[in-house]
């Protein structure tokens, strides 16, 4: 009971209270880059969850068995692991489900440079999460990322059709929308003690 409560706290904390995109500013490139259509935004979110889960597992293995001896190699080891994980996931999906592979297209390899993934591995280490906690944290962070992407894409599709001053069109408006979303997410602060 104690453990499951803690896990729920980690999950909600990563998804809503400290949403990776809107509170920590991680993964802003896809957030502004691919949120012009709802469909692609959602699929990219799912691919991110998948990569995050695998990264979390790999980071835990690395941390527990290898990096205790060479802590200064952490950053290099993580980034190499993430790059190869993404490559591996890409080959795997291509083999198993060509349809999904085509649907994801260029966004799949681009996940490598999504800072949310590296941040996930680093946070997991610095907070001392174990295997199970790490996986739940990855799931929550991924769900939060997907939520942010989908919300943003929905708002942008609406904004596309509305009458907006020409000066505001483009990045400036997207930033203001993101600011308001972030403001809304601050309402979650304090949930579960606001910690984690």
Partner 1 sequence: MEASGGRAYDELVKGLWRENPIFVQVLGMCPALAVTNSAINGVAMGSATLFVLLCSSLMISSLRNLIPKQVRISTYIIVIATFVTVADFTLQAVAPAVHRELGAFIALIVVNCLILGRQEAFASRNTVGMAAMDALGMGGGFTLALTSLGGLREILGNGSLFGVHLFGDAFQPWVIMILPPGGFLMLGMMLLVFAWVKEARAKAAQRLEREAA
CA dist., res. 182 & res. 180, Å (int): 5
Q: Exposed, middle or buried: residue 79 (CB in 10 Å: 0-12, 13-18, 19+)?
A: middle
Closer residue to partner 1 (CB): 71 or 99: 71
Cβ 76 to partner 1 shortest distance, Å: 4
To partner 1, the closest distance from the beta carbon of 127 in angstroms equals 11
Stated as kind and residue range, the H or E segment containing 79 is helix 74-96
Residue (118 or 141) nearer to partner 1, CB? 118
At its nearest, how many Å lie between partner 1 and the CB of residue 83?
6
4 or 171: whose CB is closer to partner 1? 171
CA distance 72 to 145: 29
CA dihedral (31, 36, 41, 42) positive or negative: positive
Token couple for 194: 């606001």
Where would I find the H helices in 97-170?
A: 98-104, 107-110, 115-126, 131-161
**CA 192/CA 156 separation, integer angstroms:** 31
Of 4 and 166, CB closest to partner 1 = 166
Residue (11 or 123) nearer to partner 1, CB: 123
* CB of residue 99 to partner 1, shortest distance in Å: 27
Under the rule (CB under 8 A), what is the footprint of partner 1?
22-29, 32, 72, 75-76, 79-80, 83, 113-115, 118-119, 122-123, 126, 167-168, 171-176, 178-180, 182-183, 186
The least distance separating partner 1 from the CB of residue 12, rounded to whole angstroms, comes to 18
């Amino acid at each position: 009971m104690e453990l499951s409560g803690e896990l729920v706290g980690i999950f909600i904390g990563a998804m809503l209270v400290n949403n990776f995109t809107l509170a920590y500013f991680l993964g802003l490139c896809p957030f502004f880059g691919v949120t012009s259509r709802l469909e692609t935004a959602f699929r990219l979110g799912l691919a991110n969850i998948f990569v995050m889960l695998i990264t979390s597992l790999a980071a835990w293995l690395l941390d527990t068995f290898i990096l205790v001896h060479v802590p200064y190699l952490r950053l290099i080891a993580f980034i190499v692991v993430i790059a190869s994980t993404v490559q591996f996931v890409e080959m795997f999906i291509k083999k198993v489900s060509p349809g999904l592979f085509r649907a994801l297209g260029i966004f799949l390899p681009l996940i490598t440079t999504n800072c949310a993934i590296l941040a996930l591995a680093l946070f997991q280490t610095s907070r001392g999460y174990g295997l199970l906690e790490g996986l739940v944290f990855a799931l929550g962070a991924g769900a939060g990322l997907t939520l942010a992407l989908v919300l943003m894409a929905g708002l942008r599709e609406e904004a596309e059709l509305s009458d907006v001053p020409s000066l505001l069109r483009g990045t400036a408006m997207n930033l203001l929308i993101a600011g308001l979303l972030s403001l809304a997410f601050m309402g979650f602060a304090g949930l579960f003690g606001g910690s984690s």
